[in-house]
Amino acid sequence: MSGRARVLVVDDERSMQEFLEIFLRSEGYEAATAANLESALMQIESDEFDVVVTDIQMPGGTGLELLRAVQKHAPETVVVMMTAYASTETAIAAMKEGAYDYITKPFKVDEIRVVVEKAIEKKLLATENRRLKSELRSRVRGRTIIGTSAAIQRVVDFVSQVADTKANVLVSGESGTGKEVVARAIHAGGERRELPFVAVNCGAIPENLLESELFGHVKGAFTGAVQNKAGLFEVAQGGTVFLDEIAELPLPLQVKLLRVIQERSYRRVGGTSDLAFDARILTATNRDLQADVASGRFREDLYYRLNVIEIALPPLRERRDDIPLLVQHFTERYSRELGKPAMEVSSAAMERLVRYDYPGNVRELENVIERAVALCRSERIEIDVLPPTVLHPRELERTRRIPEEGVKLDELVNEYERSLLQEALEQSGGVKKRAAAKLGISFRSFRYRLEKLGMGDDAEQVD
């Protein structure tokens, strides 16, 4: 592999510096050298490198100290450790701290060639991944529509197409799929982006207050109306009104909304004069509006006025390829918000997260990650901080439903408890104290539960 990737070599032996500098340049890289920790830190802070190849032992500090500094000042730079003191402890420490690889002196030319080549490939992949995510987000002008799956890419493309139009858009999809995120992206991508975006949840405001919230009221219109009040339509003037859960809009207000769309005007509650309306209307629903039209719960003429363009959002279970990106996004966000160091997710935890069906979609995934970050006591999220709904969805689904013939509650509870105890033992290599810690119970309680469920003699687990 060749290119102009930049590599910093840190070693107190001048001969090693010269050898690696000549070798790296012959491979097509740019190379710089440092003889000690202080010099290396100065270069890391003032310049950019793709890879740092550093000795473990050096004057004024160690390679592990340099590794931590690189992670702080240039987290995407890949670090490779060198040492003449081969030991498992040192290698494990370096890898745990985040080093990409570890080589022992004296090494062969082919060995260092492959290690540096792979390290640069890792850096390029990380940079490309960041660029793609940035490009994806910039296409909707900063709104967080995250994903690279074909399903979500179609949504992003659709948003880009409709953002600059004046057409009313209906965003449909299951609860938690991100309908408001899409609505905000449409607003941010259109000519009204600098003007207000006002979101209204039609299902969250009591029916007797909803008209006043939308259109405002005049003083004396009803008991408690002690002064004139502007409605949300007036607040959104010139911008965008987003009516979420539009299917919950009562029929009398459906008539008034239709008038707003047709005549571009409305009246405050108790008012006698019309106010001009100039805002784009975006709506969203998690229901089948056509079925509501057929049953008479939603006006057909209003439906066709609102549904000029429909954007249907796929449920998360139909775009599992996006789950790792979403997990990374939410992990970064909640690590910052909860004041914790940047966290990563173990492969075992990620496998469980990707496998789960998420009836609550992206919103549920976000809640799962926020909970995991809050409970995690290290910088790696393991499966022990994931909720039972993710770890044992089938068992919980069975316990949530009561068939006509009834259930035997004790048997169901015991079955679920037995599965948790067994999994904790498997994850802990049969060490009961570790298994108890994973479940947040005492060692004595753990042994009692094993005996109660007849699991004490299943195997000779280690105490």
Report, as an integer, the average pLDDT of 156-164: 90
Please state the length of the chain. Answer: 463
Report, as an integer, the average pLDDT of 81-96: 70
Q: Is the pLDDT of residue 245 over 50?
A: yes
pLDDT at site 459: 41
Residue where the block lists tokens 């719960």 = 297
Q: Is 312 helix (H, G, I), strand (E, B) or coil?
A: strand
Q: Which domains does the chain have, with CATH numbers?
A: 6-133 (3.40.50.2300), 155-312 (3.40.50.300), 318-391 (1.10.8.60), 406-452 (1.10.10)
pLDDT at site 267: 92
Task: State the amino acid at position 186 in one-letter form.
Answer: I
Q: Is the pLDDT of residue 11 over 60?
A: yes
Using an 8 Å Cβ cutoff, are 265 and 275 in contact?
Answer: yes
Which one, of 102, 344, 343, lies nearest residue 93 by Cα?
102
* Cα of 104 vs its chain's centroid, Å: 38
Q: What is the pLDDT of residues 359-368, one digit of tens each?
A: 899 999 999 9
H helix or E strand, kind and range, residue 412 = helix 409-427
CA angle 167-170-175, nearest 5°?
155
Q: What is the pLDDT of residues 20-76, one digit of tens each?
A: 999 999 988 999 999 999 999 989 888 889 999 988 888 888 888 898 888 888 888
How many other C-beta atoms lie within 10 A of the C-beta of residue 345? 22
DSSP secondary structure letters along 319-350: -GGGHHHHHHHHHHHHHHHTT----EE-HHHH
pLDDT at site 139: 44
Q: What is the pLDDT of residues 299-346, one digit of tens each?
A: 999 999 999 999 999 999 999 999 999 999 999 999 999 999 889 999
Q: Helix-strand-coil percent breakdown of the chain, rounded to 5?
A: 50, 15, 35
Parallel, antiparallel or unpaired: strands 275-276 and 265-266: antiparallel
- Distance, in Å, from the CA atom of 23 to the CA atom of 115, rounded to the nearest integer, reads 13
Using an 8 Å Cβ cutoff, are 149 and 321 in contact?
Answer: yes
CA angle 405-409-415, nearest 5°?
115
pLDDT at site 171: 97
Q: Is the pLDDT of residue 369 over 60?
A: yes
Q: Is 118 helix (H, G, I), strand (E, B) or coil?
A: helix
How many other C-beta atoms lie within 10 A of the C-beta of residue 285? 25
Q: What is the pLDDT of residues 411-439, one digit of tens each?
A: 767 777 887 888 788 777 788 888 887 78
Which one, of 97, 5, 90, lies nearest residue 51 by Cα?
5
What the block records as the tokens of 310 is 């429909």
End-to-end CA distance of the chain: 52
54 has which bridge partners?
Answer: 10, 81
Q: Residue 201: what are its φ and ψ, rounded to 5°?
A: -95, 105
Tell me how far CA of residue 278 lies from CA of 39, 164, 207, 240, 260, in angstroms: 62, 16, 24, 9, 10
pLDDT at site 321: 92
Report, as an integer, the average pLDDT of 143-168: 88
pLDDT at site 143: 46
Q: What is the pLDDT of residues 172-203, one digit of tens each?
A: 999 999 999 999 999 998 899 899 999 999 98
Residues 6+ apart with CB under 8 A from 229: 212, 216, 217, 268
